[in-house]
C-alpha cells in the first residue's frame, strides 16, 4: 500500500500543468483558460458498465492487452450456456461467448500431407507476367492453411453452486444481479443472491502477467455448496465464435499436480502445450470429475476465500502475486492509464447525443487497451473470441492501433511494431516469389507471418503502407536518430515493394495499381480492377513519407520511388465526383456500387488530402451521405466518413456520421461495436472512433487554428480535451 500511495503521489507531482480547455458555445469559437484539469476519475467512472440481468451480447471482460478473461454475471464463467444460442432456437442477434484467451495461445492440427501455399495458389496475369496468388481457398491445402494455426480457449473457470437439496444451480436460481465493471481500477464486482445468500465476487487481471485474481464472499453460503470448476476444452477451427470443442476428450491431455500453494495443470494439444496454475491459501481439495474437468473446494466454511489463476506458455516456479497484490497492481495500472493518456470531456454539451458519444469514447479506450495492446496485431474480435480462426488482419491494424499515438499512448502502438521486423524475412520471400522487390506484408495471418489462402484477402494491398504510417506516427512524437534506425528497414522494404508493384503504362506515361487487385472496398473483381482511389492516394503518401525518412537519415531520395510518385495515375473521377476505381466509375449511377467501405473518401480523411480537389471531395461526401447503403458497411466506416467531413469543414456531417443510427454503428453495454450475429464485437470500430474523435478535437496538420475544428459550432457542443495529438 505504501508503494502504491507513493507511486500515485509521484504521478500527481509529474502531471502536466492545467491545459487550455477548448469550448464551442453560443455559436462562436473561443478558447478558455482553465485552472483545473479534467476530472479524469469522474469522466471515466460515469461510464462504468452496469448489468442487472444477463446480456448475452455484452458480457464484461478484464485484460491487460495480451490476455483477456470474459465473465458472466457471477464474475466467472459459471453459466456459459446462457451465452451460447440454442441450435434449435438461435438468437438472430447472436451472442458473445465466455472465453479465456492469450496472444500466445495458438494451436494447429497436424499437417501430414505437408500442405504448402503453392498448392493453394493459381497464376494471375499481371501485364503479361504470371503471378501466383493463394486464391484456391476451397482446396484441401487451402482449407488447412486457412484454418491453421488458430487461437485456443485456454480454460473455463466457473462456480459450482448447489442448492440446499444438493442440486446444481441453474441461472434461474440466481437473483438480484448487479455487476459493475469499474474501468478506473480494472475491477469487476459481481453481486447476486443464491438461496438467500448475498454472494459478492471481485475479479481482476494482473497488468503484467496473464493472471486472474478472484475474491469471493459467499454471504454465509456453506463451503460445501460453493466451489470452483476448472475445465479444459479441445480446439476446433471455428471461423467465428468460441473455439472450444468439448466433444473430443481423447484428443488432448490434462495432467494435474498438487503444489504447496495450490495446483498446476499441464496441457497438451498436439504440438501445443501450456500450463495453468491456481494458487490459494484457502484451497481444501481438488477433485477430478473427468479427464479435463476439476472441482475445487475451499477451507472457508462460510467465510470469504480467494485464489489466483496464472496462464503461461510454460511451467514456472515463480512465486505468483496474490489477490491483494494483483488488486493493487490493477488499480495502479489503470489509474496511470487514464491519467497519463489523453481525455475528452463532453459533459458541458447540450446536444442529446453527447453523453452516448462520451460513453463510447471512454469504453473504447478501455476495450482497445485490454484487447489489442500486445506484441501482436489483434484479431478483429480481440481476445474475446475467435474471428477468422483467431487470425489477425493486417489491413485492420491501422484501425485497431493508430489511435494509441493520438491519445498519448504511443507505447501501446509500439508494442506490436517489432512483429513486422520479426516477419520481415517471410514478407521478403512473399514479394520475391511474386517477382517484386522489398517486402509484401500478409493480410490474414498469425504469429508466423504466413498469409492465408483466400479468394479476397491475398489480392488486398492497402495494408502495405501501414508500417510506414505507424513509423511516422512514432517519429512525430520521438523525432530522433534512434527512431529512424529502429524502423528504417520496415519503412524502406515496404516502399521498395510498393514501387515495384506499380506497373508502368508506356502509352499513358503513368504508373497504375492492378490488376490483379481487390481494393479496400471488397466488392470488385481482382482480374479487372485498376486504380482504386484510396490505394492510389495511400501509395503516394507511403512513398513520399519513405523518401522523407531517407532524407532524415542523410540519404539521397530513391529515384525509382520518385518516378512512381511523379507519374502515379490520378484519383479516378466521373461527372465531377470521385469514384471507387478507374475500372468501376459507376459509383453514383449504379446502386450496387455504393456498399461496403466508402473508401473513395479516405484520400481526404484518413489521409491528408494531397492531390485532392476539395470541392469535388465535398460533393462526393454529400453523395455518399445521401445515397450510400450504410446497412451494408462496417463499424470503421463511420469514423472514416467523419474524418473526411472534418477535413472538409463539415463538422455537423462528421457528428452525424459518427453517431449514425444503423446496426453496424451499435455500441453495446460493454462498449463493444456490434456488427451482426457473427461479429458481436468488432474492435476496428472502437479504434476508428477514437482516431476520429482525436482528430475532430485536436485537429490535423493544416487544420484551421480554431478549437475542436471537427465539432459543430452550433452552440450545442462543449469539447474539453487534454493530451491529444494531431493526425498527419
pLDDT in tens, 613-653: 999 999 999 999 999 999 999 999 999 999 999 999 999 99
Q: What is the pLDDT of residue 27?
A: 28
Residue with cell 451472442: 95
Rounded Cα gap, residues 634 and 667, in angstroms: 13
Span 67-73, average pLDDT: 98
Q: What is the pLDDT of residue 224?
A: 86
Q: What is the pLDDT of residue 30?
A: 32
Which residues make Cβ contacts (< 8 Å) with residue 483, sequence separation at least 6? Answer: 471, 474, 475
Span 238-258, average pLDDT: 97
Which residues make Cβ contacts (< 8 Å) with residue 199, sequence separation at least 6? Answer: 74, 191, 192, 193, 216, 217, 218, 219, 221, 226
Span 222-243, average pLDDT: 95
Tell me if 215 sits within 8 A of 201, measured CB to CB. yes
Residue 413 has pLDDT above 90, yes or no: yes
Q: Per-residue pLDDT tens for 456-482?
A: 999 999 999 999 999 999 999 999 999
Residue 33 has pLDDT above 80, yes or no: no
- Domain 48-106+150-334 matching CATH 2.70.98.50: the answer reads yes
Pairs from 584-589 (Cβ < 8 Å, separation ≥ 24): 584/524, 584/529, 584/532, 588/623, 588/627
Rounded Cα gap, residues 133 and 600, in angstroms: 26
Continuous segment of H or E residues that includes residue 307? strand 305-312
576 phi-psi bin (left φ>0, alpha ψ -120 to 50, beta other): left
Per DSSP, the three-state class of 179 is strand
**CA dist 592 → 455, 586, 636, 664, 723 (Å):** 20, 9, 20, 19, 42
Mean pLDDT of the residues in the chain? 94
Instruction: Tell me the helix, strand and coil percentages in the chain, rounded to 5.
Output: 35, 25, 45
Which residues make Cβ contacts (< 8 Å) with residue 713, sequence separation at least 6? Answer: 24, 27, 28, 29, 651
What are the residues facing 445 on neighbouring strands?
Answer: 392
Q: What is the pLDDT of residue 86?
A: 57
Nearest to 431 by CA among 406, 413, 410, 449: 449
Per DSSP, the three-state class of 92 is coil
Least confident of 204-208, 300-304, 554-558: 300-304
Span 529-547, average pLDDT: 98
Q: What is the pLDDT of residue 36?
A: 76
Per DSSP, the three-state class of 720 is strand
Q: What is the pLDDT of residue 3?
A: 33
Q: What is the pLDDT of residue 90?
A: 59
DSSP notation for 322-354? -HHHHHHHHHHHHHHHHHHS-EEE-TT--STTH
Q: What is the pLDDT of residue 85?
A: 67
Q: Per-residue pLDDT tens for 180-229?
A: 999 999 999 999 999 999 999 999 999 999 999 999 999 999 878 999 99
Span 651-666, average pLDDT: 98
- Dihedral sign for Cα 8, 11, 16, 22, please: negative
Per-residue pLDDT band at 504 (split at 50, 70, 90): very high
Per DSSP, the three-state class of 614 is helix
Rounded Cα gap, residues 560 and 495, in angstroms: 10
Looking at 80-196, which runs of residues are DSSP E strands? 100-102, 106-107, 122-126, 129-133, 150-151, 156-161, 174-182, 187-194
Q: What is the pLDDT of residue 12?
A: 35
b/e 29-56 (16+ beta carbons within 10 angstroms → b)? beeeeeeebbebeebbbebbbebeebbb
Q: What is the pLDDT of residue 2?
A: 29
Rounded Cα gap, residues 531 and 542, in angstroms: 16
* End-to-end C-alpha distance for the chain, whole angstroms: 42
Per-residue pLDDT band at 1 (split at 50, 70, 90): very low
Span 309-320, average pLDDT: 95
DSSP notation for 534-554? HHHHHHHHHHHHHHHHHHHTT
Cα torsion for 173, 177, 183, 188, to the nearest 10°?
-40
All three cell numbers of 490, joined, read: 520496415
Write down the domain spans for the chain: 48-106+150-334, 116-147
What Rg value do the Cα atoms of the chain yield, rounded?
A: 26
**CA dist 148 → 27, 236, 444, 590 (Å):** 57, 10, 11, 39
Nearest to 153 by CA among 209, 71, 79, 69: 69
Give the DSSP letter of residue 465. T
What are the residues facing 256 on neighbouring strands?
Answer: 265
186 phi-psi bin (left φ>0, alpha ψ -120 to 50, beta other): left
Distance of CA 329 to the CA centre of its chain: 24
Least confident of 161-165, 355-359, 413-417, 624-628: 161-165
Span 280-308, average pLDDT: 92
Q: Per-residue pLDDT tens for 7-25?
A: 333 333 333 333 444 443 3
Q: Per-residue pLDDT tens for 681-712?
A: 999 999 999 999 999 999 999 999 999 999 99
Q: What is the pLDDT of residue 223?
A: 79
Q: What is the pLDDT of residue 13?
A: 33
Tell me if 513 sits within 8 A of 535, measured CB to CB. yes
All three cell numbers of 394, joined, read: 493486417
Amino acid at each position: 500500500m505504501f508503494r502504491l500511495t507513493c507511486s500515485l503521489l509521484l504521478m500527481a507531482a509529474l502531471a502536466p500543468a492545467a491545459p487550455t480547455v477548448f469550448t464551442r458555445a453560443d455559436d462562436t469559437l473561443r478558447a478558455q483558460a482553465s485552472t483545473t484539469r479534467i476530472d479524469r476519475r469522474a469522466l471515466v467512472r460515469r461510464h462504468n458498465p452496469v448489468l442487472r440481468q444477463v446480456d448475452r451480447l455484452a458480457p464484461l471482460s478484464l485484460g491487460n492487452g495480451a490476455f483477456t478473461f470474459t465473465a458472466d454475471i457471477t464474475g466467472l464463467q459459471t453459466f456459459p450456456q446462457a451465452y451460447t444460442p440454442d441450435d434449435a432456437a438461435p438468437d438472430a442477434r447472436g451472442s458473445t461467448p465466455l472465453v479465456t484467451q492469450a496472444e500466445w495461445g495458438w494451436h494447429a492440427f497436424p499437417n501430414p500431407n505437408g500442405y504448402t501455399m503453392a498448392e493453394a495458389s493459381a497464376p494471375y496475369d499481371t501485364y503479361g507476367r504470371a503471378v501466383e496468388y493463394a486464391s484456391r481457398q476451397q482446396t484441401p491445402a487451402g482449407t488447412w492453411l486457412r484454418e491453421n494455426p488458430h487461437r485456443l480457449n485456454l480454460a473455463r473457470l466457473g462456480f459450482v453452486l448447489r442448492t440446499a437439496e444438493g442440486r446444481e444451480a441453474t441461472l434461474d436460481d440466481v437473483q438480484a444481479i448487479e455487476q459493475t465493471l469499474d474501468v478506473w481500477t480494472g475491477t469487476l464486482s459481481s453481486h447476486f443472491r443464491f438461496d438467500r445468500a448475498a454472494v459478492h465476487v471481485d475479479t481482476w487481471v494482473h497488468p503484467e502477467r496473464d493472471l486472474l485474481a478472484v475474491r469471493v464472499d459467499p454471504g454465509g453460503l456453506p463451503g460445501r455448496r460453493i466451489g470452483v470448476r476448472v475445465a479444459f476444452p479441445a480446439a476446433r477451427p471455428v471461423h467465428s465464435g468460441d473455439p472450444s470443442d468439448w466433444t473430443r476428450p481423447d484428443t488432448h491431455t490434462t495432467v494435474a499436480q498438487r503444489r504447496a500453494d495450490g495446483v498446476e495443470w499441464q496441457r497438451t494439444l498436439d504440438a501445443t502445450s501450456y500450463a495453468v496454475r491456481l494458487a490459494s491459501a484457502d484451497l481444501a481439495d481438488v477433485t477430478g470429475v473427468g479427464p479435463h474437468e476439476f472441482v475445487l473446494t475451499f477451507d472457508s466454511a462460510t467465510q470469504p476465500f480467494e485464489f489466483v489463476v496464472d496462464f503461461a506458455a510454460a511451467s514456472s516456479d515463480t512465486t505468483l502475486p496474490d489477490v491483494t497484490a494483483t488488486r493493487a497492481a490493477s488499480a495502479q495500472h489503470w489509474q496511470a492509464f487514464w491519467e497519463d493518456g489523453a481525455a475528452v470531456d463532453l459533459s458541458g454539451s447540450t446536444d442529446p447525443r453527447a453523453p452516448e458519444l462520451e460513453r463510447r469514447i471512454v469504453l473504447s479506450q478501455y476495450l482497445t487497451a485490454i484487447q489489442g495492446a500486445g506484441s501482436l496485431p489483434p484479431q478483429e474480435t480481440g481476445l474475446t473470441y475467435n474471428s477468422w480462426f483467431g487470425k489477425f488482419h493486417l489491413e485492420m491494424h491501422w484501425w485497431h492501433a493508430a489511435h494509441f499515438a493520438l491519445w498519448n499512448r504511443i507505447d501501446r502502438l509500439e508494442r506490436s511494431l517489432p512483429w513486422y521486423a520479426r516477419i520481415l524475412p517471410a514478407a521478403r520471400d512473399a514479394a520475391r516469389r511474386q517477382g517484386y522487390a522489398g517486402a509484401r506484408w500478409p493480410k490474414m495471418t498469425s504469429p508466423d507471418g504466413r498469409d492465408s489462402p483466400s479468394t479476397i484477402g491475398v489480392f488486398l494491398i492497402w495494408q502495405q503502407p501501414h508500417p510506414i504510417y505507424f513509423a511516422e506516427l512514432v517519429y512525430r512524437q520521438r523525432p530522433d536518430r534512434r527512431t529512424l534506425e529502429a524502423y528504417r528497414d520496415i519503412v524502406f522494404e515496404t516502399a521498395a515493394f510498393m514501387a515495384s508493384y506499380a506497373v508502368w503504362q508506356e502509352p499513358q506515361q503513368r504508373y497504375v495499381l492492378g490488376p490483379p487487385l481487390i481494393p479496400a472496398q471488397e466488392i470488385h473483381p481482382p482480374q479487372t480492377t485498376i486504380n482504386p482511389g484510396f490505394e492510389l492516394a495511400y501509395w503516394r503518401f507511403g512513398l513520399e513519407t519513405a523518401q522523407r525518412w531517407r532524407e532524415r537519415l542523410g540519404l539521397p531520395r530513391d529515384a525509382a520511388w520518385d518516378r512512381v510518385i511523379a507519374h502515379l495515375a490520378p484519383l479516378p473521377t466521373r461527372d465531377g465526383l470521385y469514384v471507387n476505381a478507374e475500372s468501376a466509375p459507376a459509383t453514383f449511377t449504379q446502386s450496387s456500387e455504393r456498399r461496403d467501405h466508402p473508401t473513395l473518401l479516405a484520400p481526404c480523411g484518413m489521409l491528408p488530402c494531397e492531390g485532392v480537389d476539395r470541392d469535388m471531395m465535398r460533393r462526393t461526401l454529400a453523395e455518399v451521405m445521401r445515397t450510400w447503403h450504410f446497412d451494408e458497411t462496417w463499424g470503421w466506416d463511420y469514423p472514416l466518413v467523419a474524418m473526411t467531413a472534418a477535413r472538409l469543414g463539415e463538422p455537423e456531417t462528421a457528428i452525424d456520421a459518427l453517431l449514425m443510427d444503423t446496426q453496424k454503428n451499435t455500441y453495446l453495454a460493454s462498449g463493444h461495436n456490434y456488427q451482426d450475429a457473427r461479429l458481436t464485437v468488432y474492435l476496428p470500430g472502437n479504434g476508428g472512433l477514437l482516431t476520429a474523435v482525436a482528430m475532430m478535437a485536436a485537429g490535423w496538420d493544416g487544420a484551421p487554428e480554431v478549437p475542436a475544428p471537427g465539432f459543430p459550432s452550433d452552440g450545442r457542443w462543449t469539447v474539453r480535451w487534454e493530451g491529444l495529438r494531431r493526425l498527419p
